Amino acid sequence: MQTLSELRRQARVLTSGVFGMRGDAELSCIVEQAATETGFPFAAVSIVDRSRLWLAVAYGFDPREFTRPDSFCDAAIQIPGFAPLCVADAWREPRFKFAPAVIEMNVRAYYAAPLVTSDGYALGTLCLLDQKPRTVNAAGLARLVALAGNASTVINRVPNAVAHAEYAIDELCTRMRFAIADEDDEAVAVLDQELRLFEAKLELHWQAAPS
């Protein structure tokens, strides 16, 4: 059963509007920069949803979706303090030997920094991938973290949320109805609070918009 914190994180994924940013030009530039500055052949912005992770943009390969269980990115968003996840060789780490990216893309090396909202929820990662084992030095990791911060700033812009507000509200309401049917009072309370927070955010945006 998912925790209430995870339920809130999933709500942030919805209300950020990031699911409408597939192929976003600014995110694409950041991903390309991350790959070229570190010499990795592949990089991506990965968003972790309820049961899957999907790539908003990718460098070196076509964006795709992976299952969430056993994935690198699911592990990356759960590291305390939002520290980077560093996997020099997935074949030597039992928890990642059968990760979806290992099976589907033959990924051996994986490095990621979480994409964190202003209120402290990780939506996904900015990640680097290679099909051969490799390490990243401290300077490279620091740069990855900095670029992940840039990507988070792009995602956290209010217009992204506003542009896809209708879908986010509908989905939150749907999840609330399921929680009511399951008599999960805690989940209902969390989702109701998330919906109210989002509506308040939208109201502030509309009030600030020029008439």
Q: Please state the pTM of the whole predicted model.
A: 0.91
Q: Does residue 24 register a pLDDT over 60?
A: yes
Q: Does residue 210 register a pLDDT over 70?
A: no
Mean pLDDT, rounded, for 15-38: 94
Round the CA-based radius of gyration of the chain to a whole number and report it. 18
**How many CB atoms are located within 10 Å of the residue 98 CB?**
11
Dump pLDDT digits (tens) for 164-175: 899 999 999 999
Position 125, amino acid? T
Pairing of β 109-116 and β 52-59? unpaired
Torsion angle, alpha carbons of 147, 57, 71, 114, to 10: 20
The answer to whether the CB of 53 falls within 8 A of the CB of 104 is no
Dump pLDDT digits (tens) for 123-166: 999 999 999 999 999 999 999 999 999 999 999 888 888 888 99
Give the pLDDT band of residue 26 (cuts 50, 70, 90).
very high
Residue 161 pLDDT: 87
Place of tokens 């939002």: 82
Q: Does residue 207 register a pLDDT over 80?
A: no
Distances in Å between the Cα of 126 and the Cα atoms of 43, 48, 74, 99 are: 7, 11, 12, 17
Mean pLDDT over the full length of the chain? 93
**Domains in the chain: boundaries:** 18-156
Give the pLDDT band of residue 40 (cuts 50, 70, 90).
very high
Given 3.30.429.10, 3.90.226.10, 1.10.3130.10, 3.30.450.40, which CATH number is that of 18-156?
3.30.450.40
Mean pLDDT, rounded, for 16-23: 90
Please, what's the b/e burial string for 56-90 (b: 16 or more CB within 10 A of its CB; e: otherwise)? bbbbeeeeeebebebbbbbbbbeeeebebbbbeeb
The answer to whether the CB of 46 falls within 8 A of the CB of 53 is yes
Mean pLDDT, rounded, for 39-67: 94
Residue 76 pLDDT: 97
